[in-house]
Structure 1
């Protein structure tokens, strides 16, 4: 049996990567602050808060879509079906996109540029350590159907 067919990951890397990236952004801002020219207006806080709400909504919509199809939500479980509707029509990784948008929202709300830098790092590491393995898993389970889905739906946006 193909090792990727059994399950995509042995550990839930994305949650850990985004958690570490968030913690790193907070610690770096404290010890190595990046000066930001800004007024103390409400716009960054409102726009950051709105982006956080959109991110949470996107992630919850994706989880609900996966649960509706009775397939794995956790990245270390084997997929039982290929989900291509709901938020998965627009992006192959709506939950990870939600995590990324949430980090950007926190960066806007707190005016902490380290959140933007750490969001980029989290995207790169998540792609390297999680998404590529998940895609191999889905390819081994669903073959041509997954290839066709990849041709029509982008990985991130």
Structure 2
């Protein structure tokens, strides 16, 4: 493993994208209001909030796992360890998955469908701006160990 590695990106795209999408969803709800397609029933509310809570729990679990391994959570910093346990055992990008779930939860809380629409848009944007550069970084940094991990662990779903 090389002693130093260039960071995967110079801009921390994921938090910028999430903040931008939240602001856009709020602005769009005023500029172009769309009716909430769901029912205002207890089961729908529980399901929506359950997704949001699951996203928050997944985020905390992933962050604690990265911290335990002594590597960064920051998407614009070089990784110091290849983390393949915790939530990373199941998916390569649990933090970005958690963002989508949390946006779905906010959608249910606010009954703002723009959060759902923009959460879906977040997936290709974060893949292009963050995931692909991170994958190149991890492959350059950890070589065969990363390639083996990537071959057995799905990126998203």
What is the TM-score with the length of structure 1 in the denominator? 0.91
Distance 1:139 1:124 in 2: 21
Change (3 A) 1:62 1:39: closer
Moved more, 58-67 or 31-40: 31-40
The yes-or-no answer on 1:29 pairing with 2:11 is: no
* 2:38/2:44 contact within 8 Å kept: no
Change (3 A) 1:128 1:68: same
Deviation of 1:37 (Å)? 4.7
Change (3 A) 1:73 1:37: closer
What runs of 5+ residues in structure 2 fail to find an aligned partner?
A: none
Superposed, 1:7-46 pairs within 5 Å as 7-46=7-46
Distance 1:36 1:76 in 2: 36
- Give the match's secondary structure for 1:6: coil
- 2:91 is matched with 91
* 2:55/2:99 contact within 8 Å kept: yes
- Aligned pairs, number: 155
Deviation of 1:42 (Å)? 2.8
Distance 1:47 1:137 in 2: 36
Deviation of 1:83 (Å)? 0.4
Deviation of 1:112 (Å)? 1.9
The yes-or-no answer on 1:73 pairing with 2:56 is: no
Instruction: Give CA deviations for 1:106-147 in whole Å, capped at 9, x if unaligned.
Output: 122322221111001111111111111111100000111111
The yes-or-no answer on 1:117 pairing with 2:95 is: no
* 2:14/2:130 contact within 8 Å kept: yes
Change (3 A) 1:142 1:111: same
Distance 2:39 2:17 in 1: 32
- 1:149 is matched with 149
Instruction: Give CA deviations for 1:89-110 in whole Å, capped at 9, x if unaligned.
Output: 1111111111110011112232
Taking only aligned residues, the RMSD between alpha carbons, in angstroms, comes to 1.8
* 1:104/1:115 contact within 8 Å kept: yes
